[in-house]
Amino acid sequence: MNKRIVIVGGGVGGTMLANQLAGKLYPEILRGDVSITLLSNSPDHFYKPAFMYVAFNQFFNEEIKRPERSLLRPEIHFNVEEVTHFDFPGQYLKTRSAKRYDYDFLVIATGCVPAPERIEGLQEAGDHFYQYQPARQLAQRLSTIEKGRIFITVSFPQTPNVPHQCGIAPVETTLMLDDFLRRRGVRDKVEIIYTYPTVAQLLRNCLFLQRPTGEILPDIFEQKGIHFQRSFTLSKVDPDAKVAYSAEGDAQPFDILMATPPICAVKAVRESGASQAPNDEGWLPTHHETLQVYGLQHVYVIGDTVDLPVSKAGGACHNQAPVIANNITAEIRLGAPNSVYDGRVQAVAQMGLNAGMPLWYDYSHDVQPTPPTKLGGLLRNGFNRGLYWAVARGML
């Protein structure tokens, strides 16, 4: 009987995994014993880490997208369909176009979405760089500010040990902002304040909250004249007065509020009944080794929808995809999964407009910062400008 593998989500996790599965299960696909279908709500694939570069006018829309079909092996069926309903007992999905897709194995790779509306006033007064249009709006403001105060906030999910999207991004963009304003010749007239919430400081294994990084970053900020403040948990924003208020009772004025907003899973996942995450955040209960969803048979999850204490970033997907590909292959051929995810995440952090810092960590080892260098910057630029597309195709 044909084994139907359905992957929902055309981001880097779903795309990479589909290609790896097609390679591993190629003999079964040729015999008609296995089919792989990827569903995405868009015909295009965006390189989402580039959105933060958009905020500094380094990338534009056409540079950061490819047709999703062009990234997939020909054996993979690709359909532009938005999934609106998961029926786990019946092992099928429904889409907005009323189509039904039955599955034997399901992988949820739907990512997460910014939810600034969850904090009063943030949607009206805040800027972020986690989507293209908001990043373009932020770019316009950063390109025209002549003097004033740029206030940077980070909001975490309420689910314990779940980090915000792309853990290093707030640090990266703060250092890029410093360089950007220096190039414009207005840095001495613009104050930069970086803040972090109280609860986040108590969590373990959330990226850049580990002790080695916490010891090195303050010195880097001080050298650049970037002010930083702990224990600022954004609770509401007054758009008219341009004041950000914290749950700890602080009030901070701003000319630009550069925020890492709250995030949540997509609506269909939140409404699926599979998540027990607080505040309707929708993270799926994920086996930290096999990446199966607890309580659901033959259902896996990759990337930003997991409830694991690892960065919601492509550097996590890169290590999760081979594990899921091996486990689904092993289930089909051997009857049980056989691979383990060790929590590994790796990336090259953008430490300013030119410098880069390689980093990695896993469940057992804290991230170990290395000195930012121009060579690291060249490595990150090479990934941005070309290597990423090879990764998405499952070639690296």
Alpha helices per DSSP H over the chain? 12-24, 26-31, 51-54, 68-71, 122-125, 132-144, 169-184, 211-223, 267-270, 314-333, 374-382, 388-392
> Cβ of 247: how many Cβ atoms within 10 Å?
14
Q: In the structure encoding, which two tokens stand for residue 30, read together? A: 């040729």
Q: What is the maximum alpha-carbon separation in the chain?
A: 69
CATH number of 116-262+347-375: 3.50.50.60
Q: What is the pLDDT of residue 345?
A: 92
C-alpha closest to that of 166 among 288, 69, 53:
53
Do the first three CATH levels of 3-113+264-344 and 116-262+347-375 match, i.e. the same topology? yes
Q: What is the pLDDT of residue 1?
A: 66
* pLDDT tens digits, 161-202: 898 998 889 999 999 999 999 999 999 999 999 998 888 766
> Whole-angstrom Cα distance, residue 51 to residue 117?
20
The amino acid that residue 337 corresponds to is P
* 35 strand-pairing partners: 4
Scan for tokens 């304040």, then name that residue.
Answer: 193
> Whole-angstrom Cα distance, residue 98 to residue 126?
37
Which residues does 374 contact at the CB level (< 8 Å), separation at least 6? 354, 355, 356
pTM, full prediction: 0.94
The conformation of residue 2, written as its DSSP 8-state character, comes to P
> Whole-angstrom Cα distance, residue 289 to residue 122?
36
How far separated are the first and last CA of the chain, in Å rounded? 32
* 40 strand-pairing partners: 80
Q: What is the pLDDT of residue 78?
A: 98
What ranges do the domains of the chain cover? 3-113+264-344, 116-262+347-375
DSSP-based three-state secondary structure for 252: strand
Which parts of the chain sit beneath pLDDT 70?
1, 201-212, 214
141, 245 Cβ separation under 8 angstroms: no
CATH number 3.50.50.60 given to 3-113+264-344: yes
Q: In the structure encoding, which two tokens stand for residue 243, read together? A: 């004041």
Q: At what angle do helices 169-184 and 211-223 cross, to 10 degrees?
A: 10
